[in-house]
Amino acid sequence: MGGLKTLFKQTFIYGLATVLPRMLSFLLVPLYTAVLPSVAEYGEVSVIFSYFVLFNVILAYGMETAFFRFFNKEDEKDTVIGTSAISLAISSIGFFIIAMLFQEQIANLINIDVKYINLVIWILLFDALVIIPFAWLRATQRPMRYAIIKIFNVAINLGLNLFFLLVLKDLAKGESILAILYKPNFEISYIFISNLVASAVTLLMILPLYFKINYKFSSDLWKRMMKYALPVLIAGIAFSINETFDRILLDYLLPKNEGKTQIGMYSACYKLALFMTLFATAYRLGIEPFFFSHAKSENPQNNYAKILEFFVALGSIILLGVVVFADILKPYIVVGEAYWEAMWIVPIILLANFCLGIYHNLSVWYKITDRTKFGAYISIIGAIITLLINFIFIPTYGYKASAIATLTAYALMMLLSYYFGRKYYPIPYNLKKIGLYLILSITFSGISFYQFRANYIVGISLLIVFLGVVWLSEKNHIKQLLKR
């Protein structure tokens, strides 16, 4: 249980670094849906953020995961740090120069105003340059510093959004010097300016780590890292397609005004799945270094199996809890009834992100055994499913097709990872217990939302029954963890 104790301690701190800032940024959803003049404008913001996700993956090109693998594998750790930092710095600056030179063409290609493209390019540069320093903090188990910087980043982003969108207009009246900063109908630009400042400050905070790096570059090591990283890159691009490309396709396949409006509704209600995303992300941040550092310990498979069991138990509670109270949560998260038409997607997207979290837990086998190409294959299959369902059904069913595509892709990826994992790195998962949690939580969620929606007597009763099942199954482990 010592390894699990370390995992939960680190996961808790990384959770603070992820959950608390994201909960702060969660306030941006009601802010945007309240301040932006229309659902379509929120849809436009969502499309731009979708491109952010895609290009963040491209600019990282799997080097973060490769860094973890080789940092724990190689004796010359300084060379690993130096090689990966130099590689990312050169590629990021190269991208920045090319993107700035061709920003007009990029804007025309993706049908986004060039003034937004300019801001996005700067943000992507700053975000790419902090990848290795943050990875180094995680690899050397310095979660507190990691957490402080991450939280400060989102606090700045949130504070500037509140200032620009709520306060500046009133302060800029009269002869105030702040009148220079205020521009009417400039809300979308203010959103990305806030993001840019936060990213720049984060880079400044983490910049001292660059002065501590011993800039040793090994071409042989770089080639081995890239061989490991490229399948991760392919998998990452496929993931970005699964995660956000549906917004781009909605914009592309539907009439202009209808497309942006559907994207706005879909993206806003999608945020109710943030509770599951936060949980899965915090868990993954703690797990990834744990997987590699304990790969050579005695019988690590038992720990990996127990980790998935805990994840499914906690994830099932979150799934059912959010579904039961979705209609209570929605006015505080999504301001404006114009967005609520898309509430139908909430249980589906929650379950989709749950499947994705399980997939990340299952993916240990191909990372530990250096078979990252399987991660790429599985992700590509998921991306193909996403694209096919969206292309075929968006013109008829709109955002509902996107939700179904996301769930189908992540569920299939989860099953494929389990299937291949049994062959190459068998882990003794307790399928009966995991299956019980999944079946009960999914069934109870469907009954509560689609049959007895807003009937809290039924919903809370189902939640209590499920909590009782989890307690009876896990009480010994829970007591043992609490004692430790």
23-53 per-position pLDDT tens digit: 666 778 888 988 888 888 888 888 898 888 8
Quick: pLDDT tens for 159-168: 999 999 998 8
246 within 8 A of 386, measured Cβ to Cβ: yes
The CA distance from 260 to 251, in Å, is: 6
Q: Which residue has the higher pLDDT, 246 or 142?
A: 246
What pLDDT, on a 0 to 100 scale, did the predictor assign at position 24? 63
pLDDT of 343 > 60? The answer is yes
Contact residues for 466 (Cβ-Cβ < 8 A; gap 6+): 316, 317, 320, 440, 441, 444
* Contact in structure between 195 and 157 (CB atoms under 8 Å): yes
Report pLDDT for 15: 61
pLDDT at 459: 92
Burial of 171 (0-12, 13-18, 19+ CB in 10 A): middle
* Residue range 52-57: mean pLDDT, rounded: 89
Average pLDDT, integer, range 201-222 = 87
Lowest-pLDDT range of 264-273, 284-293, 312-321 = 284-293
Longest dimension (CA), the chain: 72
What sign results for the dihedral spanned by CA atoms 153, 155, 160, 166? positive
Tokens standing for 341? 């038409």
CA distance 314 to 302: 19
Cα–Cα distance measured from residue 421 to residue 220, given in angstroms and rounded to the nearest whole number: 30
Confidence of residue 174 (pLDDT cuts 50, 70, 90): low
pLDDT at 324: 94
Please tell me the predicted confidence (pLDDT) of residue 109.
84
3-state secondary structure of 428: coil
Q: Is 398 left (phi over 0), alpha (psi -120 to 50) or beta?
A: left
**Nearest C-alpha neighbor of 195 from the set 146, 126, 145, 244:** 126
Q: Report residue 361's pLDDT band, with 50, 70 and 90 as the boundaries.
A: confident
- Spatial neighbors of 139 by CB under 8 A, at least 6 apart, are 67, 68, 71, 72, 289
pLDDT band at residue 402 under the 50/70/90 scheme: very high
Distance in angstroms (rounded) separating the CA atoms of residues 34 and 337: 11
Question: Any idea what DSSP says for residue 453?
Answer: T
Using one digit for the tens of pLDDT, what is the confidence trace for 87-131?
A: 999 999 999 999 999 999 988 888 788 888 999 999 999 999 999
- pTM here is 0.81
Q: Which residues contact 45 (CB under 8 A, 6 or more apart)?
A: 32, 36, 188, 191
Close Cβ partners of 276 (under 8 Å, ≥ 6 residues apart) = 315, 318, 319, 322, 350, 353, 354, 357
> Does the structure show a pLDDT above 60 at 471?
yes
Q: Please tell me the predicted confidence (pLDDT) of residue 11.
A: 60
How many residues are given for the chain? 484
Task: Specify the pLDDT at position 334.
Answer: 86
In this predicted structure, the answer to whether residue 241 has a pLDDT above a threshold of 60 is yes
And the tokens for 247?
A: 């917004």
Looking at per-residue confidence, does 97 or 365 come out higher?
Answer: 97
Give the pLDDT confidence score for residue 295 in this predicted structure: 59
Confidence of residue 382 (pLDDT cuts 50, 70, 90): very high
Q: What percent of the chain has pLDDT over 70?
A: 89
Lowest-pLDDT choice from 102-106, 190-194, 302-306, 402-406: 302-306
For residue 197, pLDDT over 90 is answered with: yes
| pLDDT score at 290 | 64
Indicate the pLDDT class of residue 443, thresholds 50, 70 and 90: very high
User: Quick one: 91 exposed, middle or buried, by C-beta within 10 A (0-12, 13-18, 19+)?
Assistant: middle
